[in-house]
Every structure is written in structure tokens, then in C-alpha cells.
Copies of this chain bind each other. A is one copy, B any other.
Amino acid sequence: MGGHQPAEAIEPLAMLLGTWRGRGSGRYPTIRPFEYREELRLWDSGKPVVASSLESWSMSGEPLHQEMGFWRPEPDGRLSVVLSHALGVVEVAKGAIDGGSISLASTSIVRAPGGSAVKSLERLYRLEGDTLSYELWMETDSTPLALHLTGRLRRR
């Protein structure tokens, strides 16, 4: 449904609205490297936040990761994000929008029973034309912050 909230509120993220598809590669000190496919959607929720949905699959089509949430831009370029992850954690992150670069760092991650051992996440997105590339760094209970994912998505 369209919204009554001013579109100005989400204007700082307007360049990201849409559907992005592509591929990424993962690595981490504790696992074997892997490749994946991915779809990221960001849409105007009608509220002063951008809603997001992220899904990834193995190259053979098996569901890997899913997360959904809301991105709230501030007029000064700051950004706060709330996310829920299919692997049983919720995340609050803060960040900054600087032209085509967006950085995000988790400020709080809470696990449901049996949830993932992730402790913190950092993401860096870079938009160039219709290509959105990113890297994601992850810290877990047993591993310090390390590069985990890099991806390259194209606007659909």
C-alpha cells in the first residue's frame, strides 16, 4: 500500500529501492569457501522506513540465509536498521550513508534459543550505477571479526 508518510523521510535511501540479484562468495576461518546466489529487495513501506528482504541460495538452489527488516535514514546521513534473521537472531545496527557508500555496524545482536553464535556484523555497501557490491564481516563467539561474504548484485 502507498503511504501517507512523507517520501522525504526515506529519500536518503531512494537509490537502493528495488530488487537486486546476483552472486556472492563466502569464506570464514571455520568453514570451506562457498558461492551463493542472492536477492535483495528494498521497498517503500509507507512508513518513514525502507523495508528489506534478503534471501540467498546455494548454487544448486538450496536456501541458505534469509533476513528481513527496516532501515530508517536520518536527515543527517545516519541510518539505523532493525533486522530479524532466519537463523534465530535479531540485530540492531547503526550506520552512515555517504553518497553511494553505506556502512552498517551492529550495535546489538540477541539470540533466540538455538540461534546462531554470531556476535557482531559489519557491512559495507557500494553502489556504482546499477551494481551494488558489498562485503560483510562477522564476529562469532569463537572467531574475531573476519571477512565472511562479498557479493555483487545488479538492479532488476
Residues of A within 8 A of B (CB): 1, 3-5, 45-47, 49, 51, 53, 55, 57, 61-63, 66, 68-70, 72, 80-86, 88-92, 94, 108, 110-115
Contacts and interface: CB of A to CB of B under 8 A. Distances in A.
B66 A51 contact: yes
A50 B131 CA distance: 31
Contacts of A114: 72, 80
B84 A69 contact: yes
Nearest to A81: B112
Contacts of A112: 72, 80-82, 92, 94
B82 A45 contact: no
Nearest to A110: B108
B57 A1 contact: yes
Contact of A62 (B4, B68, B92): B4
A57 B115 CA distance: 32
A112 B74 CA distance: 12
Nearest to A64: B47
B88 A83 contact: no
